[in-house]
Structure 1
Amino acid sequence: MKILVPVDGSDCSFRALAFAAEMATNFDATLHVVHITDSRDEATEETIRRARDVLDAHGVEDDPDVRTDIGLDFRPSNRIGEDILSLVADEGYDHVVMGHHGAGTVERALLGSATETVMDAERVPVTVVP
C-alpha cells in the first residue's frame, strides 16, 4: 500500500502525519509526505523539518517532498486539492491521510478545503484526522 500525506504546517496536518506513520508501520506500507506551496521560504523549511521529526519519531523513512505550484490563487485549497489528486493519479497512491481544520461554514465557503476536494473526488480512500 502506498500512502500519501499532504502537510500544510498546521497542527492537524502533523496529527494526520503521526496517524499515517503508525498506519504505515502497522500495515507495512510505504508513506510519502508532500507539502504544496506557491513559493519555498522559511515557513516551508519549518514544515519540512517538523515532518521529518514526526517521521523520525515513528521510525518511518521518507524524505518529504515540496511541490511548488505558482498557479495558487485566491482559492488555494481547491487548487491544492487538485494537485493532491494529480499526485494520487500520477504516482499510484492507494490511500491519502489528511488533516482537517474544522473550519466553519463561512471560512469553508471563502477558502474552500483541500481535504473536501480530495474526498469529493472519490478517486482514492481518504482518512481525515481532525
Structure 2
Amino acid sequence: MDILIPIDGTDASKRALDFAIEMAVGMGGHLHVVHFTNKETDATEAILSDARDRLDSADIPNEPELTTIREDVWTASRVGKEILDTVSRNGYDHVVMGHHEKRVVDRAIFGSAAETVFRAESVPMTVVP
C-alpha cells in the first residue's frame, strides 16, 4: 500500500504522520511524506527535520520518501487540489491527513485541504484530528 501523508508542521499534521507511520509498519506500507510550500524557508527545513526524526525513529519496513513540492499554493483548498493531483499522478492508495478545527470565518474563506481531498472521494482517506 502506498500512503501519501501531506505535512505542514502543525500538531495535527504531526499526529497524522505518527498515525501513518503506525499504519505503514502494521500493513507493510510505503510512506510518501510531502510538504507543499510556495517558498522554502527555515520553517520548511524545521518541518522536514521533524518529519525525518519521526521517520528515522520508526521501524518502517519500506524506506519512506520525504519530499517538498514547491507550488504557488496560498489557500487550503488549493493545497487540497495539489494533493489530489499528486495522488492522481503517482497512484497512491491512501491519504492520511491531519485536520484541526478552524473558526467558521476561516473555513468559509480558505476552506480545508483535508475537506477538499475528502469531498473529492477519489482516494481512501484517514483524517486524524
The TM tier, using the shorter chain, reads: over 0.9
Equivalent residue number for residue 117 of structure 2: 118
2:64 corresponds to = 62
Structure 1 residue 23 and structure 2 residue 32: aligned? no
Distance 1:103 1:54 in 2: 26
CA distance in 2, matches of 1:82, 1:51: 22
Amino acid at match of 1:79: R
Q: Which moved more, 1:34-43 or 1:104-113?
A: 104-113
Aligned equivalents of 1:59 and 1:42: distance in 2?
28
Q: Partner amino acid for 2:127?
A: V
Gaps of 5+ in 1: none
SS in 2 for 1:124: coil
| 2:98 matched residue in structure 1 | 99
**C-alpha contact 2:6 2:96 (8 A) present in aligned 1:** yes
CA contact (8 A) 1:24 1:30 kept: yes
Distance in 1 (alpha carbons) for counterparts of 2:59 and 2:101: 29
Paired position in structure 2 for 1:82: 81
Q: TM-score, normalised by structure 2?
A: 0.94
Is 2:47 the counterpart of 1:47?
yes
- TM-score, length-scaled by structure 1: 0.93
Runs of 4+ in 1 over 6 A off after TM superposition: none
Q: Is the CA contact (8 Å cut-off) linking 1:21 and 1:58 kept in structure 2?
A: yes
**Deviation, structure 1 residue 104:** 2.8
- 1:6 to 2:6 alignment: yes
**Gaps (5+ residues) in structure 2?**
none
RMSD: 1.0
Q: 1:101, 1:5 → 2: CA distance? A: 15
CA distance in 2, matches of 1:123, 1:63: 22
Q: Which amino acid aligns with 1:57?
A: S
Answer yes or no: is the 8 Å Cα contact 1:32–1:63 preserved in 2: yes
Q: How many residues were matched structurally?
A: 127
